[in-house]
A and B are shown apart, each in its own frame.
Chain A
């Protein structure tokens, strides 16, 4: 059956039809979008591990779900990289079948509680909602509702395991346990494959564990979703680096018929300016890994972390927001975002910028660091900033920041966190013989199938895209699984 027909069939079920007729469209569209309750900014800016967004109540979720018009051609679905059947799950919430809603999510998404929290819905599903497209109204809060259904299921203690096809005995290896790898693993496990995920670190989850902080994505939630994979029979090998601990040939010898490389873009970029190796200047990856993965801010952790009083974070992506908000929570009296463009061009989610501002983070836009200076012990003491202005749009359409000649200023700092992007980690690509990589170090794949020039090797997520988002990584995992399954079935 065609995808469209399946969507139509589900929409035509009697309960859906009845639900649609139970309320006038005008009544639905007149409702204001629900607001997610959140912790008080003053309180939360000192609480490293308390989640800021508190989630919707049952009543709020049902009320919001009724705003969805259950469109015959749901445009929202086209904005979701893993094509969640959005109206079906939302209508289940409206009729009070919350566990059913969670099941619908799991048909296509391996990590709904994660995505409901960290996806930039304003650029994806919610951007394609009929409210946004046609009515100039606030879109249905799809992300909030996704999170609601997933959390409801988790807290109910009644977590469902997706249906699995009979085991086919074909062994598949996944390199990396971040969002791309986990999505791929779920999809392939559903199709009956024997999946082993190899992870270099001592915890499963990739950026979900070491990168995104507890106040935005609690580790417990990531663990619950990974547990579902374990129950589906997916095996995890921690502390194992493919290309170092075991080779591509080892995988062949052990009978793995396909390899999905989802090793991410973990290599932090630095700006290569004077003073960048002073003590107190570090990458956002180092800072966040210490705090999130190693729990360095806790007294009982062996891993130390610097707790600066005057902290500057260079950059304005989501990672920069995570780092600056973490610094505030570790006791920074002054925490500044330093960004070379203006607020309009910031790549971070609007919500994260808003939260950071509420928590007392200062924004120094149109400024770019030129150098750092330290004290006699080599600890960073101050930074020289170049003031910028916006010039002509560049190739990407963004207005290019241009230095204003002679306009510089010194700012005192005792910690600098550099968050100016990441590059693909060369460790994996370089250990696969004959794997084609681009000049940026990303693995070159067929965009539709995610297959590399080595027929048994597929790749997805940041190792293919450079630094991108959780949900795009998940979409890659999904496409790779579909294509690898097709190829393996054809070659039988």
Chain B
């Protein structure tokens, strides 16, 4: 059982939790995720670790209420317990000094991007973060992102905040302006697909963090499998990050609809 020590609403449907998990706080790295389960009849769902506090023995996770299980978690309050939190899972992000890195996060994907932005900056990269959301209220973590970014570009679909346009418009502006060595993208699959198409056009290496359906998260079932470079990979153990230019996003988009 893992106690919730802090809760904060980023927007009506996006909640940040700080949860007691001392062992995970100690061993996690940027890019790792956890599987959580709430209630004895609860589902196991994957959530990326946004940050951790080793002294307090806590990890931070950010959840968007989109279905029954995520809503159930979002309804929890400070002092409540999450029945199961297991991790850290997956491969950590490969961090090194690349040069200039674009970190492109869409919607709630900005939360899992945050530790990567921080690690990229600490590794000596010039970090340009491009955040995108449908509308102003859905832009999250801008301040924290800014702390480790050389520049933050905010894009909204409706132009209510930052620049009007899609995330790809924001990325393309940067690419046209200066040399970019790497792009990292996390967000809805459809967004990552179009980011990947764009950066491929400019030949910029791109990593995407995939958010497929998962059950155990330890490689036991293959629910999360996806085709990368023509080969089947398990996102939970081989990923969640892959070379975006090799990912079959259409297959991923299709498989995400398995239980719709």
* Known A-B contacts A245-B23, A378-B257; A268 and B221 likewise in contact (beta carbons under 8 Å): yes
Name 7 A/B residue pairs within 8 A (Cβ), A-sorted.
A244-B27, A266-B219, A267-B220, A270-B225, A277-B232, A279-B255, A302-B72
Tell me if A303 and B44 are in contact (CB < 8 A).
Answer: yes
A residues less than 8 Å from B227 (CB atoms) = 277
State the B residues within 8 Å of A (CB): 23-24, 27, 37, 39, 41-44, 68-69, 72, 83-89, 215-216, 218-223, 225-227, 232, 237, 251, 254-255, 257-259
Tell me if A286 and B221 are in contact (CB < 8 A).
Answer: yes
B residues less than 8 Å from A283 (CB atoms) = 221-222
Chain A, 139-153, contact with B by CB distance < 8 Å: what is the 0/1 string?
Answer: 000000000000000
B residues less than 8 Å from A282 (CB atoms) = 221-223
B residues less than 8 Å from A427 (CB atoms) = 218-219, 237
A9–B140 CA distance with the chains assembled, in angstroms? 76
Closest A residue to B32 by CB, please name it.
Answer: A244
B residues less than 8 Å from A238 (CB atoms) = 84
Tell me if A289 and B216 are in contact (CB < 8 A).
Answer: yes
Shortest A381–chain B CB gap in Å is: 14
A residues less than 8 Å from B254 (CB atoms) = 279, 377-378
A residues less than 8 Å from B85 (CB atoms) = 239
Tell me if B23 and A202 are in contact (CB < 8 A).
Answer: no
Tell me if B220 and A266 are in contact (CB < 8 A).
Answer: yes
A200–B35 CA distance with the chains assembled, in angstroms? 11
A82–B226 CA distance with the chains assembled, in angstroms? 42
Tell me if B87 and A245 are in contact (CB < 8 A).
Answer: yes
A239–B84 CA distance with the chains assembled, in angstroms? 7
* Known A-B contacts A245-B24, A298-B41; A285 and B86 likewise in contact (beta carbons under 8 Å): no
Chain A, 69-84, contact with B by CB distance < 8 Å: what is the 0/1 string?
Answer: 0000000000000000
Shortest B38–chain A CB gap in Å is: 8
The answer, among B39, B84, B86, B218, for a CB contact under 8 Å with A425, is: B218
Number of interface residues of A (CB under 8 A): 41
Tell me if A289 and B88 are in contact (CB < 8 A).
Answer: no
Tell me if A241 and B221 are in contact (CB < 8 A).
Answer: no
Chain A, 192-205, contact with B by CB distance < 8 Å: what is the 0/1 string?
Answer: 00000000111000
> Is A438 in contact with chain B by the CB < 8 A criterion?
no
Counting chain B CB atoms within 10 Å of each CB, the highest count among A202, A268, A270 belongs to A202
A426–B227 CA distance with the chains assembled, in angstroms? 20
State the A residues within 8 Å of B (CB): 200-202, 210, 238-241, 244-247, 266-268, 270, 272, 276-277, 279-280, 282-283, 285-286, 289-290, 294-295, 298, 300-304, 306, 377-378, 425-427
Tell me if B86 and A300 are in contact (CB < 8 A).
Answer: no
Tell me if A294 and B225 are in contact (CB < 8 A).
Answer: no
SS of A interface (majority): loop
Tell me if A302 and B258 are in contact (CB < 8 A).
Answer: no
A202–B38 CA distance with the chains assembled, in angstroms? 11
A315–B180 CA distance with the chains assembled, in angstroms? 49
B residues less than 8 Å from A290 (CB atoms) = 215
A238–B24 CA distance with the chains assembled, in angstroms? 13
A322–B225 CA distance with the chains assembled, in angstroms? 23
Shortest B46–chain A CB gap in Å is: 13
Given A289-B221, A303-B44, 15 further pairs, Cβ under 8 A: A200-B86, A200-B216, A200-B218, A202-B37, A202-B44, A240-B86, A245-B27, A270-B222, A285-B221, A286-B222, A286-B223, A298-B41, A302-B39, A303-B43, A378-B254
A-B CB pair tally, cutoff 8 Å:
110
* Known A-B contacts A244-B87, A246-B23, A427-B218; A279 and B258 likewise in contact (beta carbons under 8 Å): yes
* Known A-B contacts A240-B86, A294-B43, A295-B41; A201 and B258 likewise in contact (beta carbons under 8 Å): no
Tell me if B88 and A277 are in contact (CB < 8 A).
Answer: no
A425–B254 CA distance with the chains assembled, in angstroms? 27
The answer, among A244, A295, A304, A425, for a CB contact under 8 Å with B89, is: A244
A306–B215 CA distance with the chains assembled, in angstroms? 14
Give 4 closest A-B pairs by Cβ, nearest first: A286-B221, A378-B254, A302-B43, A266-B220
Closest A residue to B236 by CB, please name it.
Answer: A427
B residues less than 8 Å from A298 (CB atoms) = 41
Counting chain B CB atoms within 10 Å of each CB, the highest count among A246, A247, A272, A286 belongs to A286
Shortest B43–chain A CB gap in Å is: 4
Tell me if A202 and B41 are in contact (CB < 8 A).
Answer: no
The answer, among B24, B83, B89, B220, for a CB contact under 8 Å with A289, is: B220
* Known A-B contacts A201-B216, A270-B232; A277 and B23 likewise in contact (beta carbons under 8 Å): no
Counting chain A CB atoms within 10 Å of each CB, the highest count among B85, B216, B218, B220 belongs to B220
Shortest B146–chain A CB gap in Å is: 32
A306–B218 CA distance with the chains assembled, in angstroms? 21
* Known A-B contacts A202-B83, A202-B84, A245-B24; A425 and B219 likewise in contact (beta carbons under 8 Å): yes
Counting chain A CB atoms within 10 Å of each CB, the highest count among B24, B27, B43, B86 belongs to B86
Tell me if A268 and B222 are in contact (CB < 8 A).
Answer: yes
Closest A residue to B36 by CB, please name it.
Answer: A239
The answer, among A268, A277, A295, A304, for a CB contact under 8 Å with B251, is: A277
Shortest B214–chain A CB gap in Å is: 10
B residues less than 8 Å from A303 (CB atoms) = 43-44, 215
Tell me if A302 and B88 are in contact (CB < 8 A).
Answer: no
A201–B227 CA distance with the chains assembled, in angstroms? 26
Shortest B132–chain A CB gap in Å is: 27
B residues less than 8 Å from A241 (CB atoms) = 86-87, 89, 218
Shortest B83–chain A CB gap in Å is: 7
A382–B232 CA distance with the chains assembled, in angstroms? 21
Closest B residue to A284 by CB, please name it.
Answer: B221
Closest B residue to A283 by CB, please name it.
Answer: B222
Shortest A299–chain B CB gap in Å is: 10
Shortest B191–chain A CB gap in Å is: 20
Tell me if B232 and A272 are in contact (CB < 8 A).
Answer: yes
A residues less than 8 Å from B259 (CB atoms) = 304, 306
B residues less than 8 Å from A277 (CB atoms) = 225-227, 232, 251, 255
B residues less than 8 Å from A268 (CB atoms) = 220-222
The answer, among B86, B222, B223, B237, for a CB contact under 8 Å with A245, is: B86
Counting chain A CB atoms within 10 Å of each CB, the highest count among B23, B39, B88 belongs to B23
